[in-house]
Amino acid sequence: MDLLGPVLIATRGEIAVRIARTVHALGLRSAGVFTAPDARAAHLDAVDAAVRIDSHFDAGELLRAARRTGARSVHPGYGFLSENAAFARAVEAAGLVWIGPPAGAIELMGDKAAAKEAAVAAGVPVVPGEEDGYPLMVKAVAGGGGKGLRVVRAPEELEEAKAAGRREALAAFGDDRLLVERFLERPRHLEVQVLADAHGAVIHLGERECSLQRRHQKVVEEAPSPVVDEALRAQMGQAAVALARACAYRGAGTVEFLAPADGSRFFFLEMNTRLQVEHPVTELVYGIDLVEQQLRVAAGESLALDQAALRPWGHAVEARLYAEDPVAGFLPATGRVRALRAPTGPGVRVDAGIRAGSEVGTSFDPLLAKVIVHGADRPTALRRLHRALGDLQLLGVTTNAAFVRALLEREDVRAGEQDTGLLERVLGELAGDPPDDLLAAAALAAAGTARPAGPWRRVFEQGEVRVRDGEVLAGEHHWSAEVLTAGPTRLTVELDGVVRHYAVALEGDDVWIARDGHHLAALARRGDRRAAALAGSLEAPMPGTVLLVHVRDGDAVAEGDVLLVLESMKMELAITAPRDGTVDGLALAPGDRVTHKQPLMTITP
């Protein structure tokens, strides 16, 4: 094990913090890297030393960072370079230990077409090809995580889907090759965790259910799957082990499958040659630290795990906490974390890459943290997760916490009746506005700070609020109110006879407030700064970078025409014409950065 330390953790965010925890538990030293946007990031506190670099994607810079810190090994986390065969080879050529699978296995499984051929050769059932007709799935050959993925339901949609898929795949993986195969309607997404050592041993640690997805990005994962019995678990496990053996795998990896709703069959989807974001649910039900296993395998040790003795105990569920606004169509959210208190309690684990003061911008993935719970059975785990998300207090950045809580309350989810399209079908039922009492409580928090001698009034972006003895007028709602306790971060209020507790953060005239997983940013309206923007112009619905511009000033456009494409936090968004008209006031080009609600152009009728 000594030959690994110090370990360079060549990534950032919550996974860097999580890897450092195990590295230190094994008595090893750690080193990290950071760029200008994350110079004060939480993962810097988790490592023993850190080196400033210009890009997390620059292999040369990461190797120089390893030399500067005296690192003997490199753990890539689950970022872009974790599945980059050239980087794995470069690490080993530099005389360092690569904590990951062999470059040949990364190459083979990273090419979706070649991986499918390898699965067929290993006797693993695969998804039928495009010769079976529509609907089809267009996906990137060189990557995963939903990047470059498009569903095509008619022949006339295919070319546009391929163009968008190539563009996104090139941006994400530097490779625009695509694979087209049959799209399975309403399947489950099941995946099997494998571990392999350098001495020929390969085992599996059961399955994870990852069907609750949005835009092909997982939101909630659990282990074990509610529809997989011991017989099917053994079959999928044997298939995953066979594929791992076929590609001479080493370390931790995940073989992903699609299955019909009843879990009666399964088809190979892809293999991720790295640690998965959702690995904690497997750790909790099997009692095994997967990062520790990665380190031990990289150090040349044999797996000390007996397949026959491995049985899942209880149930674990993970919710991904994203910086996004469900009310605004899940657009990326930015801001500074004003306050953060993680939930605690029996079976609760939080893997976070943020802290109070962290700046959340558009440079990185929107995943902020993961809330994971374990219980003796699935109903207990779901209840604990629902409670934990309600106890989470994150102020300053809009997240999907309340959305996930609403999802967990659905009867079909509680019954385990889920598929990869469920979340998209029920979005309108889940992405509701924050409860009205949040604005009233925000007004009381602000008024308490201002210590008004008489009636108090403020105009927030959500509307006007007034506070006077014993009452609050917030919009059209009139509340009887009494502040029971008030502090700089906590507020207890009785509104219309109901006592509730709120987390609060104040800065100037702005208030951030939360309760039970619901969050509200009550930002004071400052003048009529947006009057010009509202007079017929299009605004940026999110901060980001201009990817494509399809029009010029003076162009005639029709309602629905794509005008330009923005990119933020690895998500593309097409800006379309709201009406027929003529483009005016466009002064943007590809590569330009825009802020939230920045005027983009005007469409003159």
> Which helix or strand (DSSP H or E) is residue 533 part of?
helix 531-534
Contact between 384 and 348 (Cβ < 8 Å): yes
Selected residue with higher pLDDT from 1 and 268: 268
Q: Are residues 326 and 364 located together in one domain of the fold?
A: yes
Q: What is the pLDDT of residue 328?
A: 80
Residue 586 is part of which domain span?
A: 535-604
Q: pTM value?
A: 0.85
SS3 state at 63: helix
Contact between 246 and 109 (Cβ < 8 Å): no
Whether 274 is in a domain gets the answer yes
Domain end (from 250, 283, 313) = 313
CA distance 330 to 323: 9
Domain end (from 313, 336, 364) = 313
SS3 state at 151: strand
Whether 122 is in a domain gets the answer yes
Contact between 232 and 242 (Cβ < 8 Å): no
Contact between 351 and 370 (Cβ < 8 Å): yes
Q: What is the pLDDT of residue 528?
A: 44
Segment among 83-97, 128-142, 360-374 with least mean pLDDT: 128-142
Whether 16 is in a domain gets the answer yes
Q: Are residues 496 and 450 located together in one domain of the fold?
A: yes
Contact between 537 and 601 (Cβ < 8 Å): yes
Q: What is the pLDDT of residue 130?
A: 65
Count of CB atoms situated within 10 Å of the CB of 552 = 8
Selected residue with higher pLDDT from 75 and 167: 75
Q: Are residues 32 and 51 located together in one domain of the fold?
A: yes
Selected residue with higher pLDDT from 553 and 372: 372
SS3 state at 95: coil
Nearest 5°: the CA angle 84, 88, 94 is 145
CA distance 521 to 31: 36
Whether 402 is in a domain gets the answer yes
According to DSSP, the β-strands at 562-568 and 7-9 are unpaired
Flag whether pLDDT at 119 surpasses 60. Answer: yes
Q: Are residues 28 and 70 located together in one domain of the fold?
A: yes
Q: What is the pLDDT of residue 450?
A: 65
Domain end (from 285, 313, 341) = 313
User: Alpha-carbon dihedral of residues 3, 6, 11, 17, nearest 10 degrees?
Assistant: 110
Segment among 202-206, 311-315, 523-527, 578-582 with least mean pLDDT: 523-527
Q: Are residues 91 and 230 located together in one domain of the fold?
A: no
pLDDT tens digits for range 427-446: 888 878 889 999 999 999 99
Q: What is the pLDDT of residue 146?
A: 66
Q: Are residues 176 and 192 located together in one domain of the fold?
A: no
Q: What is the pLDDT of residue 534?
A: 40
Whether 57 is in a domain gets the answer yes
> Which helix or strand (DSSP H or E) is residue 523 part of?
none
Q: Are residues 62 and 114 located together in one domain of the fold?
A: no
- Which band of pLDDT confidence, cut at 50, 70 and 90, is reported for residue 268? very high
- Which band of pLDDT confidence, cut at 50, 70 and 90, is reported for residue 536? low
For the domain that residue 339 is a member of, what is the CATH number? 3.30.470.20
Q: Are residues 193 and 292 located together in one domain of the fold?
A: yes
Residue 501: HSE in the Cβ half-sphere, 13 Å Cα cutoff: 7
Contact between 207 and 253 (Cβ < 8 Å): no
Candidates 84, 195, 227, 99; CA nearest to 143 is 84
Selected residue with higher pLDDT from 247 and 146: 247
Flag whether pLDDT at 535 surpasses 50. Answer: no
* Strand ranges (E), 197-326: 202-214, 217-223, 251-259, 267-272, 315-322, 324-325
Q: What is the pLDDT of residue 178?
A: 86
CA distance 219 to 213: 5
Q: What does each C-alpha distance from 527 to 459, 524, 602 come to in angstroms?
A: 10, 9, 22
Q: What is the pLDDT of residue 99?
A: 98
Q: Are residues 259 and 271 located together in one domain of the fold?
A: yes
Q: What is the pLDDT of residue 12?
A: 94
- Which band of pLDDT confidence, cut at 50, 70 and 90, is reported for residue 527? low
Segment among 164-173, 190-199, 233-242, 515-524 with least mean pLDDT: 164-173
pLDDT tens digits for range 447-469: 987 666 678 999 998 889 999 88
User: Please, is 38 exposed, middle or buried when counting C-beta atoms within 10 Å of its C-beta (0-12, 13-18, 19+)?
Assistant: buried
Q: What is the pLDDT of residue 570?
A: 63
Whether 466 is in a domain gets the answer yes
pLDDT tens digits for range 315-370: 999 999 999 988 888 888 889 999 999 999 999 999 999 999 999 987 788 899 99
Q: What does each C-alpha distance from 193 to 1, 190, 208, 273, 455 come to in angstroms?
A: 23, 10, 8, 11, 61
Whether 247 is in a domain gets the answer yes
How many structural domains comprise the chain? Answer: 6
Angle between the 103-110 and 85-93 helix axes, to the nearest 10 degrees?
170
Q: Are residues 301 and 258 located together in one domain of the fold?
A: yes
Q: Are residues 84 and 110 located together in one domain of the fold?
A: no
For the domain that residue 136 is a member of, what is the CATH number? 3.30.1490.20
Q: Are residues 94 and 110 located together in one domain of the fold?
A: no
Q: What is the pLDDT of residue 532?
A: 38
Whether 527 is in a domain gets the answer no
Average pLDDT, the chain: 91
